[in-house]
Amino acid sequence: MYILVIEDNPDLVANLYDFLGNRGHTIDAAYDAFSGLKFAFEGNYDAIVLDLMLPGMDGLEVCAKLREGGVLIPILILTARDTLDNKLDGFASGADDYLVKPFALKELEARLLALQRRTDRAYTSGRLSVADLTFESHTLRVERGGRRIELPPIPLKILEFLMTKSPRVVTREELERAVWGDSPPDSDALRAHMHVLRSAIGEPPLLRTLRGIGYQLVALDAH
């Protein structure tokens, strides 16, 4: 794996270099938030290990900026904050996993490999599913409960992105960046596409709108 470590503790970074390097991984390190953002936007990493307590900017803000900027690389947060609210804040900012300090280096590697496998399955298996909703990425075929669903190109892109990230909440900015890049539409256009998608998916509802936050595609029993 090609891993970006954004961490201001040089001793921890050295330990990660030694351990992960000896396990065949390649490591880049950034010791502050702004360098980390630059590395992440310019690099082609398999995963990002992100500390929460960073010089210049909190790690949660770094995570949110990466997602708003369209960076889809799996992010694993490292922190000494271990309450449920802390973890929920991390996931809400766009993190994929959360590891509390102190931690075992073998567990860190195992979690990173699990994130990589999850990402690989999403993009190479050709099939995404949430509840009884399925998306065949190779043929762009969408079905729910065996019923074929026809979608225009933009709602189709939105659906694929939401299914890839499910059950995570996707911010409006993250969704716009993933679908339209640097030229997002006005708010009414996105709202219209979401209406088309929601109507096509049908009942019972799987697509949730979290006002002021974003969207979530999630199985009924996970609501």
CA-to-CA distance for 80 and 137, rounded, in angstroms? Answer: 39
Strand partners, 97: 76
pLDDT for res 29: 95
Judge if pTM exceeds 0.85.
no
Phi-psi region of 103 (alpha: psi -120 to 50; beta: other; left: phi over 0): beta
123 exposed, middle or buried (CB, 10 Å; 0-12, 13-18, 19+)? Answer: exposed
CB atoms within 10 A of CB 187: 10
The full set of domains in the chain, from first to last, is 2-123 (3.40.50.2300), 126-222 (1.10.10.10)
* Run means of pLDDT, 10 residues per run, the chain, 223 residues: 92 94 91 92 86 88 85 84 72 82 90 77 67 85 90 87 85 82 71 89 88 84 53
